[in-house]
Structure formats: structure tokens, C-alpha cells
Amino acid sequence: MQTEKFDVVIAGAGLAGLTLAMEMAARPFFRQLKILLIDREEKIKNDRTWCFWAKDEEPIPPVTHKTWNNCRFFSHSAEIPMRITPYRYHMVRGIDFYRYAHERISQHTGIQRLIAPVTSIEAHTGIVHTTRGSFQGNYVFNSALTSLPLLPPADTHFPEPPLSRISDAPKDPHYTWMLQHFKGWVIETPEPVFDADTATFMDYRIDQKGETRFMYVLPLTTRRALVEFTVFSSALCPAEEYDEEIRNYLYKHLNIKHFSIEETEFGVIPMSDFPAKSIADGRVISIGTVGGFVKPSSGYAFKRTQRKMKAFVDAWEKTGTPASEIFSSQTGFRMLDSIMLRVLRDHLVPGDVLFSQLFRKLDAPHVFRFLDEDATFAEVLRLVMAPPTLPFLKAAGRQAANWVRGYGV
């Protein structure tokens, strides 16, 4: 069978693949190109919600479902005042984003869509094999397949990992491999109980069980909210534990006894310092989670994906060549992420203490600027001094040997 040729093949049409396709579709420079966008799914389900902070002048997709002007933060013993101005906290529903992206992309006649599982990608030829044929790209952008142990294997509790793992390579012990895993219920209450303009960013008033565990509450109206139990750890919890934690929290801390569950969400996000910069291989450029777009120390990726893709496509339009280096974070931020992960993994500072100290000593916009990698050198220094310094030095010491050997940065 003949292999059809394309200028660009995008394998994986989730957040990263669709954002790339939209950025290209918006620029006349790419109008002549023949582009193929492949996903195993049609993307017509609301499979996740994305939240992120942004200033009003920052571009955000026009399909925002909800915006909060205020956020709250609870340490294990008290509320810590959290003022997020000039940022606001936003929610985009997966289904709205997918519909919006498909509509924008359909205006570019050069972009074709294919619904089929990708089975393998040949890096040097750029041939992408699917169950419905093989397609060759001058450039291939991959957010679907990974050879890294970023997520746990599929099981009854986690039936559909969002990425396809194509090798059984074990975890390289030079890197930190943690998971952010969470379950959320969208609940509805008979009486108004929520402040619809205030999101609970982190609530650490729950048993930590030797891990980093917090609740996250996103009120959609005064009677409806997404209530999520989140854990940073190396392995998933037993399935029933997520539900028990949400139920206990509703009873104990929100005093909600009567409610109905309207929707549920379960997710796992890798928190790892694996070296994404080396994943441009032959004609293949890794993007999204596979390409290291998830901020290792927070698990946030939505805004980073929008920003990285815009910068990348802008530069491609200007120079005529795609340069994957644009996707890399600065070395200093990567080192800080790997130190923070090491602190959390090795329990050098309990996560609830670490995040509570950060939000007690620094204002929220300062922490947001750091997580967005917009912080100045002076701001980074102040942030590094905010949590207990000794454990951070210890973690840096443990990482230093890796950095000298070229691992982890």
C-alpha cells in the first residue's frame, strides 16, 4: 500500500495537537501546507476540565466556562489569606475546547482529520502507522505515543490512560517519577451553600497519610460545584478511597449532608523531571505531556501549552523552520522543579507544609509568576527562601550528582 505524504502529521489531537493545529490554521504562512491530524477518538466527550490562572491581558480561549475572582487556601490548621489580583482563575471544559478547535481547524482546507489509533512512528522517515494506513510527514508532532513510564498501566481503576505507552522500559532512577491523581464529583445541593465567585485552590485540612493530599473546590453556582480529592504520590490509591475522602470532606468541612452527584472526573497527570528536551528525534517532535509541557512541580499544563505553541508557531512562521528548543524551559526553572519534586518524593518537607509556607510568606501572584516561569531572578530567590531552606539544600545535594552526570536538566 502506498504511503500518503503530508507536510505535517500531528499524532494526538488533544490539548497540544489541537492547539498546534489552531495556531497553524490561523496563519496564512501555513495555508499551503498539507496537514494530517490523527486521534484514536473523535473528541466529542467532556473528558476533562482545565483550570488556570491568567491576567486579563493574557489571551485565553473564548470558550471559558467559568471565571473566579477569588481563591481560598487552607493549611492543615487555618485559612491563609489568598489575594490573586491581577490574576483570575478560569475553567475551560474539554468538550467546549474540542468543539471550538475543530471549528477553527475546519476553516483551513489543508488540514485533514483521521480517527484511528496510531500504532507506531518511524522517527527517521516520519512514517506514522495507524490501523487505517500509514502516512508520512516531513514533520511529525507526537502527543499520543510515549516510551516513558509517565503513567501507570491501564487497569480496571484507570481503564483509559490518555497516552499510549509503546515500551516497557523501567523508570530511570536518575529522575523523579511522581503522579498527580485525583477524582472529582460535580455535586448539586438542594440549598445554596457555595460562594460562586470563590474557588478553593488547596485545602490541606485532610489526613495526609504520609503523602501530599488536598481538596479542590470549584463552585459553578451557589448549588453546584466540582469537589476534587487530589494526591501527589508515586502510586494510585485504591479506587474507593477517592470517594471516601470526598464524602468525608463534604460532611466534615463543608457541612454538606444532602447532595446528588451529577458527573465524575478521574485523572492522572505525570509529575516528572524526565528530559523532554531530548525527545526531538529525527522528524518527530514531541509535544504536550510527552514533550514535557506539564509543569513538573504543579501538574498544570493548559496555559503553558497555549504559550509554548504560540511562541513555537510564531518562530516557525518567521524563520521557515520548526525549532523544538522553544519548548524547553530555562535550566534554572528545570533545576528548581526537580528539587521540588525530590523534596516531595523523599518527604524532606511534607507537601502540605511546603505549599502552606509558600502561600503564607508570598502573595499568590508571586507564586503564579514562578509557576508560569515569568518570575524575575529576585522573585525566584525570595521563593526559594520561603520554605524551610535546609531540606531544599539537601534535595539539591541529592540532585547535584545527577546534574553533573547530565541527568535531570
12 touching ligand FAD, by CB under 6 A: yes
Phi, psi at 134, each rounded to 5°: -120, 145
Out of 14, 137, 391, 408, point to the residue binding ligand FAD (CB under 6 A). 14
Residues 70-109 binding ligand FAD (CB under 6 A) are: none
Q: Which of 136, 176, 289, 338 binds ligand FAD (CB under 6 A)?
A: 289
Q: Does 117 bind ligand FAD (CB under 6 A)?
A: yes
Q: Which string of DSSP letters, residue by residue, matches 51-70?
A: EEEEETTS---TTEEEEESE
By the rule CB under 6 A, 200 interacts with ligand FAD: no
Span near ligand FAD by CB under 6 A; candidates 169-177, 191-199, 299-307, 385-393: 299-307
Whole-angstrom distance, CA of residue 33 vs CA of residue 392: 49
Residues 6+ positions from 140 with CB-CB distance below 8 Å: 8, 9, 10, 11, 121, 126, 128, 283, 284, 285
Question: Per rule CB under 6 A, is residue 13 in the interface with ligand FAD?
Answer: yes
179 touching ligand FAD, by CB under 6 A: no
Query: Count of residues binding ligand FAD (CB under 6 A)?
Result: 32
CB of 168 to ligand FAD, least distance (A): 16
37 is an interface residue for ligand FAD by CB under 6 A: no
User: Is 41 near ligand FAD (CB under 6 A)?
Assistant: yes
Distance (Å, whole) CA 90 – CA 375: 21
Q: Are 383 and 369 in contact (CB under 8 A)?
A: no
Residue from the set 39, 273, 352, 372 that interacts with ligand FAD by CB under 6 A: 39
**Helix, strand or coil, per DSSP, at residue 265:** strand
Asked if residue 368 lies in contact with residue 88, where contact means CB atoms within 8 angstroms, the answer is no
> Judged by CB under 6 A, does residue 183 bind ligand FAD?
no
Q: Is 103 exposed, middle or buried (0-12, 13-18, 19+ CB in 10 A)?
A: exposed
Among 61, 110, 152, 267, binds ligand FAD (CB under 6 A): 267
Does residue 163 touch ligand FAD according to CB under 6 A? yes
Which H/E stretch holds residue 137? Answer: strand 133-142
Those residues with Cβ within 8 angstroms of residue 142's Cβ, 6 or more apart along the chain or in another chain? 11, 12, 121, 284, 285, 286, 287, 290, 291
Q: Is residue 269 at the binding interface for ligand FAD, with CB under 6 A as the rule?
A: yes
**Which among 178, 162, 179, 256 has a CA at the least distance from the CA of 217?**
256
Q: Does 296 bind ligand FAD (CB under 6 A)?
A: no
Which residue in the shown chain puts its C-beta closest to ligand FAD? 14
For position 271 contacting ligand FAD by CB under 6 A, the verdict is no
Which residues between 328 and 347 bind ligand FAD (CB under 6 A)? none
Task: Report if residue 51 touches ligand FAD, rule: CB under 6 A.
Answer: yes
Tell me whether residue 92 or residue 256 sits nearer to ligand FAD (CB atom). Answer: 92
List the interface residues with ligand FAD, window 118-157 (CB under 6 A): 118, 143-145
Which own/partner contact pairs does 115-122 have at CB distance under 8 Å and 24+ positions apart? 115/38, 115/39, 115/40, 115/41, 115/42, 116/38, 116/40, 117/40, 117/164, 118/11, 118/12, 118/38, 118/40, 118/144, 118/145, 118/164, 120/145, 120/166, 121/11, 121/145, 121/284, 122/282
Shortest reach from residue 75's CB to ligand FAD, in Å: 22
Dump the DSSP string for 311-335.
HHHHHHHHHSS--GGGGSPPHHHHH
CB of 130 to ligand FAD, least distance (A): 7
Beta carbon nearer to ligand FAD, 344 or 349: 344
The C-alpha atoms of residue 163 and residue 150 are separated, in whole angstroms, by: 9
Stretch that binds ligand FAD, among 158-166, 171-179, 199-207, 250-258 (CB under 6 A): 158-166
Any contact of residue 327 with ligand FAD (CB under 6 A)? no
Q: Please say which residue, 43 or 224, places its beta carbon nearer to ligand FAD.
A: 43
**Least distance (Å) between residue 267 CB and ligand FAD:** 3
Q: d(Cα 145, Cα 132) in Å, to the nearest integer?
A: 17
- Report the site for ligand FAD in 233-252 (rule: CB under 6 A): none
Task: Kindly state whether residue 292 participates in binding ligand FAD, applying the rule CB under 6 A.
Answer: no
Give the residues lining the site for ligand FAD (CB under 6 A).
Answer: 12-17, 38-41, 43, 48, 50-52, 117-118, 143-145, 162-164, 265, 267, 269, 288-289, 294, 300-302
